[in-house]
Structure 1
């Protein structure tokens, strides 16, 4: 499912020089994620619980 119509923001977990992970905060019950180098490419739609588990592990 393409979610390119909303506002994307660079994730705070993205590196400065390497590719950027972009996320959206305006979608209920999931977190759309995409590669900023390919904004027209496929988005990953991650359920909120899975995204929160990922963020907790990264911290």
Structure 2
């Protein structure tokens, strides 16, 4: 099962979190998750993917 969220590097060298199914930047609580340092983006994408698996009832996958 593919992960729902991924990170993409911007031309400026920062990172955006994107929904890999739509290709669009993720917006969380009205805040677009864009222009982040790699460490922050990596941490957040892990949390978002974990939450997505839990919401789909796929904890063991």
TM tier, smaller: 0.3 to 0.5
Give the helix-richer structure, 1 or 2. 2
- TM-score norm. by structure 2 comes to 0.35
